[in-house]
Every structure is written in C-alpha cells, then in structure tokens.
Amino acid sequence: MYILTLKKGEEKRILAGHPWVYANEVLKIEGHDKQGSIAKVQAHDGRFIGYGYINHLSKIIVRILTRDETPIDRSLFYNRIKQANDYRLSLGYGDNYRVVFGESDLLPGLIVDKYGDYLSVQFLTLGMEVRKEMIVDILVDLFRPKGIYERSDVPVREKEGLKEAKGLLYGEVPPSVVIVENGIKIEVDIINGQKTGYFLDQKENRDNLKHYVKGRTVLDCFSNVGGFSLCASKYGATEVTAVDVSAEAVQAVRRNAERNGFTNITAIQADVFEQLRQYKKERRKFDVIILDPPAFTKSKDTVKSGLHGYRDINMLALRQINKGGFLITCSCSQHLTLNLFLEMLKESVAATGVDARLVELRTQGKDHATLIGTEEALYLKVAVLHIL
C-alpha cells in the first residue's frame, strides 16, 4: 500500500470535507502498489486523514473514500450506491434521475443516471475505471435494468491517463428511450445524446416555469430536445419558439411536441446569437426568454472570454423581452462562480438600460446535491429576472 504524507498545513481543506488530495500537497510517498489501488493519507505529523484511490498521472493524486478504517471492498460500494439511490427515492424520484453524483455521494469519479429501465454511467477516474466490472455488477443487482450504457466519452478522462470510452456494458439499450419528466413524455438518446443522454439537472427548473409562462409568449434558446419548451406549453404559454443550432435537437423537439399533443411549439434550427439579432431587426419581442447555453468557459483560462459570451447573449435577450416579462438565464460552468454570474447579469442589465429585479436564484436539482466543501460540484446557476 502507498502511504502519502502531506506537507505541513495541507490537511486542513481535506479535514474540512474536501475529498481531493493534490500532488503538490504531498511531502513524500512511501510503499508501492498498482495505480488505482487504495492508499493511506496522513498529515505532516502522522495523524490519519483517510484512505482513497491513487493515480500518479493525475494532479489529484488521491481521492478520499473513507475517513476511518471501514474496508474498501464491494460492500462499501454496494452500500453507498444503495444509500445514494434511497436518498433520491425518499425525495420522490422514480422514472428518471441522477442516482450517483460522484464526490457528493462519496463515490468520486462515478456518475450513474437512470432513464426508465436503463442506466447511463460515466467512469471519470482511474480508481473507478479499475472497479468498473464490480460497479456494473452492483448496478445489475440493485436495479435489474434492461441495459447499462457507458458514456465516458468526456475529455476529463485524459487528465487521469484514460482514453474516452463509450459502449454497452450490460443487456440492451435502444436508440431512444422515452421517459416521463414533470408529467411530460420526452425522448432521450442515451447512446449519442448530450452528457449521459439528457440534462437531468434542470428538471425542477423546467417545472418551475409554471410560475411565469401562463398566457405568455416564450422563446426557448439552446433548447436541446425541448425540455423547457414542453414545460412552457404544458403550463399555458400561448406560443413557444424553440431555437437550437443542432438539426437533430430541433427534430427531437418536434417529435416530443407531437408525442405530447402540444401544437403551439415551433422549433427552429439556427445559431441563437444570430436568431436574437434577427428578432431585433424584426422588432419581435417575447414575454419570457429562456437561456440555457452550453458552458462558454470550461477552464479557468477561458473565464474572461466566457464572460464575454454570457454578457453578449444576455444583453441580446434582455432587449427582446416585453416589459413585465421574464428572463430565465442559466450557466452550467463551474468556473463561472455565483459572484461572477451575478456580476455579469448586473453588467448586462446596465448595458441594455432596462430596469430589472432578481426574482429567484436557483441551482441544480435535488438529485444533484453537493457535498459541503466541494464548491466545484455547485456548477449550475439559474436566475429569474423580472423586466419592469
């Protein structure tokens, strides 16, 4: 077993609850074992900190699994996955939800999403990768799914010395799965869809539209397969326009609208920035505009350019909202902190000369709860602005 001794004072953040040990925090490493195996972490003075799996190729050299002498075996992983699922069930989740959210469920590097009878999984770290077979076996025991599909096709794996990977791990997974979210039937592409197939983290925020859209015209920007659009129609919007640059997403919006019998949704394939500029030329405004863009900044190095993108799109949207209407604007970038997000909104409002007030500030759904001390996991920000 590896034994890692931290530099003096570096244990404070970890003792406060953070599960990552960075390589530059380590004073010395003793012992030897395989990469991905369990290592012991101790403070500069020899105090026990915890056990976690190790990877010398990553800047995060150890990810803590236990802070006591609990054996790290199949039982630990079984119990934690079961506890994670029991928590979601206790909150009323059933057909579709995030079962395991990595560090927040004390399972760093593991993502498990449930779509009806199917599971979509991500193994984001070496420590989870080497335990893949065991974890799949546990998931089969606990859920008896019809199929489990791996969607580890994400660049973050490269930081762990791993290649991107995707493919069937168990049973069968069809090209599309129909789930029921907020009482609405939605088609999900587990194999090729965004992330693990769909953006489950916005479920409650989509349902929250019931407070803002009744009797109003709605523009859903970056609509993906239409989650916000469908909820807007369900909750009484008079007219809904969905815009996405992806032809596949636009076709999915149309299929989902037809599947639910919603006849007031129009889906347009276009670049959202350009479409908003076109609406400005046409002097066409909406009562509610929803902005749910992809992350414009995916690293600390791109925050400045990302902020420019967020300001630009929010300013364009603010100018196309009727007085008395609402802007529902989101950022899914962990690098755009809450303070930066609010500052960006303040600057956007000031630059457009509108009068606006903050009605709500929301985050990801309850199935994406975050471990205290791991601010990185609190990535989704959603603000509702009322245009006076």
Active site residues: 332
Diameter over CA atoms, the chain: 70
Residue 31 and residue 339: Cα distance in Å, rounded?
43
C-alpha 77/C-alpha 83 separation (Å) is 10
Q: DSSP readout, 37-102?
A: SEEEEE-TTS-EEEEEEE-TTSSEEEEEEESSS---SHHHHHHHHHHHHHHHHHTT--SEEEEEEG
Phi, psi (5° rounding) for residue 154? -130, 140
Burial 128-154 (b: 16+ CB within 10 A, else e): bbbbbeebbebbeeebebebbbbbbeb
N- to C-terminal Cα separation, the chain: 63
Helices then strands, each counted (H, E), the chain: 10, 20
CA angle in degrees (0–180, nearest 5) for 277-279-284: 150
Q: CA 325 to CA 347: how far, in whole Å? A: 19
Distance of CA 59 to the CA centre of its chain: 22
Using DSSP bridges, classify how beta strands 381-387 and 356-362 pair: parallel, antiparallel or unpaired: antiparallel
Within 10 angstroms of residue 299's Cβ, the number of other Cβ atoms is 11
DSSP state of 280: H
What is the token pair recorded at 145? Answer: 């799914």
Q: What H or E segment, with its residue span, contains residue 181?
A: strand 177-181
